Amino acid sequence: MKFPSLPSLSRIKFPFSLNVKSHARTLRLVVLLLLLGLSGYIFYLNITIREAFEGRRFALPARVYGRALEVYPGLKLTSVQLAGELRALGYHERPDPDEAATYKYTLNGLEFTTRNFVFGDGPQASQHLRVEFADGKVSLLQERGGTDVDLPISRLETPLIGGIYPGHNEDRELLKLSQVPKQLIDALVSIEDRKFYTHWGIDPRGIARALYKTVSGQRIEGGSTITQQLVKNFFLTSERTLTRKGTEVLMALLLEMHYGKDEILETYLNEVFLGQDGSRAIHGFGLASYFYFDRPLDRLELQEIATLVGMVKGPGLYDPRKNPELALKRRNVVLQEMVSLNVITQAQFVMARQKPLGVVLRPPTGTSPYPAFLQLVHRQLQSDYREEDLRSEGLRIFTTLDPRIQHEAETALSQRLAAVEKARRMAANTLEGAVVVSSTQQGEILALVGGREARYAGYNRAVDAQRPIGSLAKPIVYLTALEDPGRYTLITPLDDSPLVWRQPGTTDWKPQNYDHKFHDQVQLRTALAHSYNVAAARLGIDLGVERILGKLPLYGIERQPPPFASSLLGAFELSPIEVSQLYQTFADGGFRTPLRAIREIVTADGKPLQRFPLNVEPVAPPAPVYLLTAALQGVVREGTAQQLVNWLPAELNVAGKTGTTDDLRDSWFAGYTGDRVAVVWVGRDDNKPSGLTGASGAMTVWGEMMKNIQPEPLQPVMPEDIEMVNVDPVSGLRYNEDCKAGVLLPFIRGSEPTDISACVFASADTPKASDNPGANAAVKPGGKQAPEQKNWLQRIFN
């Protein structure tokens, strides 16, 4: 069989003419352009790599620390409380506490060894301490050694309470290569990149294997050296495309051209992703060691190191808390690879393989347990620092937060609101609240609770909730009056009869008392103790509304209330932290101390950057403030807050004020002791009535909290121009000093009553102010007795 002959190629006519020389020139031009483009791209990649690796390589979050517990003989502290402080700092109980961050109980106290720590004012070396206790106080503080040495004071490390993280929420503890155990490096190289120290950044066989799988239709994977992994984590996205893989290869080659193996490895050890803590990403072996084992990397055992290295392949898949079985298998694979490369012995392998994972059940969290306080710190920092510096320069911020007081504030708010809801048959979580606690003289914010769920980093009610303050405003009115001792003293009679106030721009104002009664003439101290609205309103109008409200900036309140008479009774809004600033001034004897949450800031390497010193300014005369404090103590002793005795002993001499707004929407209590100022607000976020007065809501939270933080008694220093006078509590007449029927009240010298009454012992038949309000008018403004009242009193007492 013959096949037909094929025509000659010369006879074939193509539809186009072939110009070989022209196409060759075009091809050369295309190749040249591709080479130029590739060169430019490589040049761009080279610049990117150099810029990232020169100078700062990582965005380090700012670390925020709480207060350091200072221990000294006489400190009100128990062994249980101190042990709690140590555990919160990550200390472990050991029979022999010679290692840093360990402790043990002794017969009369504790022995423990502190860590080396760099405070805001410099480094403090580790100490082996013995602390003993008696009667709820520290009785002995010694440093153990060859000879025990008594110490006047020592301080624990400050607790880490949170961080200000980069936008992608990466967190890490930077390590130098010299701080990394050799076993970890051996394990990493064994399982991830055996040729790390010999290749140029890429593994040709691995790349070929990955390319084959891609061409054959399998997913793109594999072929990554440690250098390539670093490039991917440091510069690129996690997408799986040939273009990204090609870029990864080029950058790995460039990285190896410019930097040594040790630099690349050190950067990788600090960069690798090893887990997730809520919104916080755990990067680097330094932080992962604490996150999974609550110990520094140099104290991990072989099997623990292998667990961390095994997680590099898939932190989510091999998470030892979520998937312990998979994590255990992966750990053992790492150990087996180490044996095969002879970096550990068979005996080490067998011993390590038999041990459990050993991860701590609850990781030390970097997501702050105090989000409301951390938010306040962040806002205060933003006035002085750029946001990018706060999130990347590794600043160390030392704050005023006292974790123990914070815990008591959170617990009191949560438990009391739950109890109130149950007692009043409210739906669960109907009520909300906020708490601010500060130190009396330093103005340091010791605790700040922004809501019932203290760990919820949402709406910060302590700082952002603007609510009418009600009767918390009245002390401003009374202080203004007491600054004029020629007219007003604690026993000056005030008019509590019906009032109609007409003011342009507003409707007629007819204030009412909470009990819907009027009390005619009442002493100033009584009007404040029982929070009579009408008496306070008349007094404020007499003094001048604008005059009183104009004093608010002196006390640290920048917000200007509306210039209406109703503002005298708190018909204007403040946040709990603003109320705290107001009462801070009262508690500190008329000295305004701006509230502060930050003490000092240092750089990542411990160099001082900024201090926040105490700033005190006198804004009110000491004597009138002393009188106001005495009147506020009367609120607790015999007025609207007298039920506080259910929580606190009378010997504390607490000064405070309840606050209740219209329709029982807001419940407030603000008060102070010898060393603490605290403000509590309780209400509803939807602004519906809570059904609570200041005494039935906020005051119960305040009392529960203060009971547990054990404040010091309030004993204000008496100004030189104050004189204590024994007076008849009903008439205000002066008694002899030895008359036990009287009450001792302070007066600014020259304003005290001069007329003396015969001493009459109190009995059931003795008239009280509530029985005959007219008796309160026995002393006119200025302390002078009315003759007609003197005659009436003589008839009664004779």
Domain 68-157 classification at class level: alpha beta
**Strand 493-496 relative to strand 520-523, pairing:** antiparallel
User: What tens digit of pLDDT does each residue of 52-96 get?
Assistant: 666 556 778 889 999 999 999 999 999 999 999 999 898 999 999
pLDDT of 774 above 70: no
pLDDT of 671 above 60: yes
Q: How many degrees, rounded to 5, is the angle at CA 483 between CA 480 and CA 489?
A: 100
Q: What is the pLDDT of residue 773?
A: 31
User: What tens digit of pLDDT does each residue of 3-15 get?
Assistant: 444 444 344 444 4
User: What tens digit of pLDDT does each residue of 169-188 get?
Assistant: 788 888 888 999 999 999 99
Q: How far apart are CA 729 and CA 771, in angstroms?
A: 13
Q: How far apart are CA 191 and CA 333, in angstroms?
A: 8
| 8 A C-beta contact, residue 589 and residue 622 | yes
> Please, is 609 exposed, middle or buried when counting C-beta atoms within 10 Å of its C-beta (0-12, 13-18, 19+)?
middle
Fold of 371-468+574-604+641-717: Beta-lactamase (3.40.710)
Per the model's pLDDT, the better-predicted residue between 224 and 36 turns out to be: 224
Per the model's pLDDT, the better-predicted residue between 623 and 794 turns out to be: 623
Joined together, the tokens standing for residue 356 give 């459990």
Give the residue among 599, 596, 173 at the shortest CA–CA distance from 394.
Answer: 173
Q: Kindly indicate the confidence band of residue 167, based on its pLDDT and cuts at 50, 70 and 90.
A: low
Q: What is the pLDDT of residue 469?
A: 98
pLDDT of 792 above 60: no
Q: How far apart are CA 701 and CA 678, in angstroms?
A: 11
Distances (CA, A) of 543 to 324, 479, 513, 540, 695: 73, 11, 20, 5, 28
Mean pLDDT of all residues in 661-674: 97
Block residue for tokens 């259910």: 646
- The full set of domain ranges for the chain reads 6-53, 68-157, 371-468+574-604+641-717, 470-571, 720-798
Q: How far apart are CA 418 and CA 704, in angstroms?
A: 13
Q: Do the domains spanning 68-157 and 371-468+574-604+641-717 agree at the CATH topology level?
A: no
The residues carrying an active-site annotation are 192, 471
Mean pLDDT of all residues in 570-593: 97
Mean pLDDT of all residues in 248-263: 78
| 8 A C-beta contact, residue 536 and residue 527 | yes
Q: Would the pTM of this model clear 0.85, i.e. be above it?
A: no
Block residue for tokens 């306040």: 376
Block residue for tokens 């690349």: 264
743 C-beta neighbours (distance < 10 Å), count: 16
Joined together, the tokens standing for residue 190 give 């064994």
Q: What is the pLDDT of residue 457?
A: 56
User: What tens digit of pLDDT does each residue of 384-437 get?
Assistant: 888 888 888 889 999 999 999 999 999 999 999 999 999 999 999 999 999 999
| Average pLDDT of every residue of the chain | 85
H or E stretch covering 131: strand 128-134
Residues 6+ apart with CB under 8 A from 282: 171, 172, 273, 274, 275, 276, 288, 291, 315
Q: How many degrees, rounded to 5, is the angle at CA 551 between CA 546 and CA 557?
A: 115
Q: What is the pLDDT of residue 783?
A: 36
User: What tens digit of pLDDT does each residue of 512-565 get?
Assistant: 999 999 999 999 999 999 999 999 999 999 999 999 999 999 999 998 999 999
Q: What is the pLDDT of residue 796?
A: 24
54 C-beta neighbours (distance < 10 Å), count: 9
- State whether CATH 3.40.710.10 applies to domain 470-571: yes
Q: What is the pLDDT of residue 37?
A: 59
User: What tens digit of pLDDT does each residue of 563-572 get?
Assistant: 999 999 999 9
User: What tens digit of pLDDT does each residue of 603-659 get?
Assistant: 988 889 999 888 999 999 999 999 999 999 999 999 999 999 999 999 999 999 999
Q: What is the pLDDT of residue 16?
A: 46
User: What tens digit of pLDDT does each residue of 259-271 get?
Assistant: 888 888 998 899 8
Mean pLDDT of all residues in 267-295: 89
Q: What is the pLDDT of residue 27?
A: 67
Give the residue among 666, 434, 668, 639 at the shortest CA–CA distance from 655.
Answer: 639
Percentage of the chain beyond pLDDT 70 is: 82
pLDDT of 132 above 70: yes
Mean pLDDT of all residues in 94-108: 93
pLDDT of 244 above 80: no
User: What tens digit of pLDDT does each residue of 14-58 get?
Assistant: 444 446 566 666 666 666 666 665 666 666 566 666 666 665 567
User: What tens digit of pLDDT does each residue of 441-476 get?
Assistant: 999 999 999 998 865 657 899 999 999 999 999 999
Joined together, the tokens standing for residue 261 give 């193996």
Mean pLDDT of all residues in 201-228: 65
The single-letter code of the amino acid at 776 is N
Q: How far apart are CA 723 and CA 455, in angstroms?
A: 49
Give the residue among 447, 441, 416 at the shortest CA–CA distance from 692.
Answer: 416
pLDDT of 108 above 50: yes
